Chain A
Amino acid sequence: MAAETSLDPLSGLDNLELAPQPGRDFLRRGTSGKALGAVWPKLLAIALALGVWELVYLSGYKSAIIFPGPATVLANLWGQMQHALLWQAIGTTLQRAVVGFGLALIIGSVVGALVSRIKPLRAAVGSLITGLQTMPSIAWFPFAIIFFGLNTSAILFVIVLGAAPSIANGLIAGVDYTPPLLLRAGKTMGLRGLALYRHLILPASLPTFVAGLKQGWAFAWRSLMAGELLVIIAGTSSIGVLLSTDQQQADMPSAMAIMIVILVLGIAVDALFGTIDRAIRRRRGLEESAAGS
């Protein structure tokens, strides 16, 4: 890389220090190996869960109608996947999830930005935001249903209340923990006001913000499921509606099949945030700490 300075001890030292080291080499090789290494424990866990389920089923503790085995439930799921109804329901539910989470993202970010910037506002509502986070979102439904009626707005309202505090808190924490040294460096470079936010504080707070998004998603998904079970809107099918119908008809195989769908969707979106989180960490050389968590 530095042909013109090949006699320079400094370049020599650079090359020595950047030569592959055992630790770094291991990390780099890990990308494909790690993916494989991460998959098999998960498969094993799924197999184990199915095995325990099957054993409880075989023990005859409850009748097969009340507690069907994995084979029946998976067959039922496969059957439902052949019909448009399930996909329509998933479509409706995911659409609500995207809209609700999107609103929570906007509101949470705006509130977070204002609270982190304006001191009196923080004193006033800082602890309120954390308080909101601890409030079970299902407790908002009576209020939401009376206020909005039995419609999508009620569900979206509760999703936002569930997710926005986590998102706001993520941003506030990210801004708070901007390394003071980087702030000093930014100020000596002449970064002020909006430029300071754009080039330093926001990028610095990104990992914490993404962690907030991930947590916000978990709250949003829970709120959405609770909402769809409580707010049944005539003529629409959603995952909640399917589950609620199964309950009324005491159709356990179908209910359990829908629960698997809910679990898989939740995990898939969570994995998406996990991927973003890891990509950010890798770019910043924080990979090792990510591998530990």
Chain B
Amino acid sequence: MSVTQRGVGPPQAPGPAPGSAPSSDVSRSSASTRGAGTAAVRLAEVSKVYGKGRSSLLALDKVSLAVQPGEFVCLIGASGCGKSTMLSLVAGLDTATAGEVSTGGKRVTLMFQEPALFPWLTASRNVELALRTRGVPKQERRARATELLQAVHLGGFGGKRPHELSGGMRQRVALARALAQDADVLLMDEPFGALDAMTRDLLHEELERICGERELTVLFVTHNVREAARLGDRVVVLSSRPGRVIEEISVDVKRPRRMDSPDITELGAHMTDRLREEMASHGR
């Protein structure tokens, strides 16, 4: 394993194929200064303040981050590090107080910890609605939805309502719905946080495969250090209150990876130590 403290990984496609292990080491410059023109997501000195006056809260403090097209970046941090705020800013659901957020005209979509499917629609209709808002003609929607559900291995479940599916299956429908938006950038806010370990492991493989096939750029928030090491080409560690980038770790572990492999475990331990240091600085 190599935990190198360089800034950024290459625009590598996180392919699932065993042979396509990412990257030989090429020297690179820091994330915040490099690749400004080509990045899929770029945050430049972004700050976010909630509220006004004395009760205001600085959630993000001059955060800079560039995610290359096709790159899988995990954000990790303790409570109050502004992870979710960052995703909201990139998704355009919120605006930055200072600094610049850009997605270079790329389409962005967001997934949450809960599937947030519409309970009155079937799995297929949920996906079709996303196609509809994108302007896909009516006669094509059903077939496209079926394709997308097949992509998440739910081909036979289009007619089921969300409550008839298990938690992991719902989250996959949500993934199919996100894919239906034909976004280039997938923002994920602890999407597997509510799932059991077994299901989560399988969904890691599923996500890795789909992102590889579709060359998606992913910004993935988690508070599980090993999940971050398992999935990310790069892991960005954030401090808490205010959120600042305190470390960027390039994960040069061959794919396919396993969460319980020594490499990933060791990398996770390193992140845990880093986060504990950070938390200790908030104690007395």
Binding site for B on A (CB under 8 A): 1-2, 5, 8-11, 13-14, 17-18, 181-182, 184-185, 187-191, 195, 199-200, 203-204, 206, 280, 283-286
Q: Which residues of B contact A17 (CB under 8 A)?
A: 166, 168-169
Main secondary structure of the interface of A (DSSP, over half): helix
Q: Which of A14, A195, A285 has the most CB of B within 10 A?
A: A14
Q: Is B116 an interface residue (CB 8 A)?
A: yes
A182, B166: Cβ atoms closer than 8 Å: no
B133, A191: Cβ atoms closer than 8 Å: yes
Q: Which residues of B contact A280 (CB under 8 A)?
A: 120
Q: Which residues of A contact B109 (CB under 8 A)?
A: 188-189
Q: Which residues of A contact B198 (CB under 8 A)?
A: 13
Give 3 closest A-B pairs by Cβ, nearest first. A285-B163, A1-B156, A17-B166
Number of interface residues of B (CB under 8 A): 36
Binding site for A on B (CB under 8 A): 91, 93, 109-110, 112, 114, 116-120, 129-130, 133-134, 153-157, 161-166, 168-169, 177, 181, 198-199, 202-203, 205-206
Q: Which residues of A contact B161 (CB under 8 A)?
A: 283-285
Give min CB distance, B170 to chain A, whole Å.
11
Q: Which residues of A contact B116 (CB under 8 A)?
A: 181-182, 184-185
Q: Which residues of B contact A286 (CB under 8 A)?
A: 119, 163
A13, B133: Cβ atoms closer than 8 Å: no
Give min CB distance, A246 to chain B, whole Å.
47
In the complex, 12 of the A-B residue pairs with CB atoms within 8 angstroms, ordered by the A residue number, are A2-B155, A5-B153, A10-B203, A182-B116, A188-B91, A189-B109, A189-B129, A189-B130, A190-B133, A190-B134, A195-B133, A284-B120
B202, A10: Cβ atoms closer than 8 Å: yes
B156, A2: Cβ atoms closer than 8 Å: yes
A284, B163: Cβ atoms closer than 8 Å: yes
- Can you name 10 extra interface pairs (CB under 8 A) apart from A11-B153, A14-B157? A1-B156, A2-B153, A8-B153, A10-B206, A181-B114, A188-B91, A203-B118, A283-B120, A284-B119, A285-B162
In the bound complex, what is the Cα–Cα distance between A9 and B199 (angstroms)? 10
Q: Which of B116, B134, B165, B206 has the most CB of A within 10 A?
A: B116
Q: Which residues of A contact B155 (CB under 8 A)?
A: 1-2
Q: Which of A188, A190, A200 contacts B118 (CB 8 A)?
A: A200
In the bound complex, what is the Cα–Cα distance between A181 and B113 (angstroms)? 10
In the bound complex, what is the Cα–Cα distance between A199 and B133 (angstroms)? 10
Give min CB distance, B284 to chain A, whole Å.
35
Q: Which residues of A contact B110 (CB under 8 A)?
A: 184, 188
Q: Which residues of B contact A190 (CB under 8 A)?
A: 133-134, 181
Give min CB distance, B182 to chain A, whole Å.
11
Q: Which residues of B contact A13 (CB under 8 A)?
A: 166, 168, 198-199, 202
Q: Which of B153, B163, B164, B177 contacts A189 (CB 8 A)?
A: B177
Q: Which residues of A contact B202 (CB under 8 A)?
A: 9-10, 13
Q: A190-B133, A199-B129, A200-B118 are in contact. Are A1 and B157 (CB under 8 A)?
A: yes
The residue of chain B having its C-beta at the shortest distance from the C-beta of A3 within the complex is B156
A10, B93: Cβ atoms closer than 8 Å: no
In the bound complex, what is the Cα–Cα distance between A188 and B157 (angstroms)? 24
In the bound complex, what is the Cα–Cα distance between A109 and B120 (angstroms)? 21
